[in-house]
Amino acid sequence: MSIHGILGEKTTDYPTQYSPEALYPIARSIGRDVIDWQDDKLQVGVDWWHAFEMSWLNPRGISQVAMARFSIPASSPFIVESKSLKLYLNSINFTEFGSWQEVQTLIAKDLSACVQVDVKVELIGLDDSELELLITQPDGICIDNALAGSPDKVALTVHPDASLLSGSNSIEEPSNAKMDKKEGQSYTFYSNLLRSNCPVTNQPDWGTLAVTMTSTQTVDNANMLRYILSFRQHNGFHEQCVEQIFADLSRYYQPSALMVRAWYTRRGGIDINPCRVSDLSLLPEPSRLIRQ
């Protein structure tokens, strides 16, 4: 019997030489066709990726380490398959660079070629003062206890169910609402209970979902939580899940302003943080949460 158990059933060859061909693009249209909504409205936003296992060699052959942030516009025709990105980043571990700028330039060139749009790359040193600014807390209220008073058991669903947004179990006027007679109510809330499955490996993906929305319709926290929980067995990429939520909330609440973002926990040294907005003026700054 293998000492590695089930983890030893398959092996992966990690390249030790610079291998841009390791990057594997996946068309965004695959996920967006399932959503079946206005494609152009899903192209407003950014996917922020954080890589925590960045390393390369300086001209003296000494390993250099850093964190990296990749900003991929939602308008890109493709996303990068996350494991292929890990393999690519590993492929430069033993490549010599004369400066950090050379590393940034090369990665930006390769990622941009993969997703067919300009990708911004930032390297962050481990003693960089910016590290203190990366860890934040979501704005608004947490709705994770919104079902505490409900007698009903939350059922597991195979697919996300937007009909749960209009469930019959009503609650009092939510405390995350601020009334504006002309525009409606402004809501800011989040949940740490977002879960879905990777469609490639079927491994679970955990994340924190945050929503800021202005709508003339009332948001029921309990129904919103039921809807978020309906993603628990859904097979979808991080980006597709956020876009599905953005589309469902847009269809149901007809908001005048909407921002949906998620901070997913890392796998393979990489976390993915998609954000979609109804207008670019609503785009927040990139950040990380404590669980990342």
Which residues, other chains included, contact 64 with Cβ-Cβ below 8 Å and sequence gap of 6+? 55, 56, 57, 58, 97, 100
The catalytic position among 110, 205, 220, 248 is: 205
Largest CA distance in the chain: 69
> In terms of Cα–Cα distance, which of 203, 259, 200, 276 is closest to 35?
276
205 is catalytic: yes
> What is the CB-side half-sphere exposure of residue 94 using CA atoms within 13 A?
7
What is the three-class DSSP state of 106?
helix
Tell me how far apart the alpha carbons of residues 210 and 138 are, in angstroms, rounded to a whole number.
Answer: 7
What is the three-class DSSP state of 163?
helix
Tell me how far apart the alpha carbons of residues 60 and 11 are, in angstroms, rounded to a whole number.
Answer: 32
Cβ atoms of 99 and 137 closer than 8 Å = no
Indicate which residues carry an active-site annotation.
Answer: 198, 205
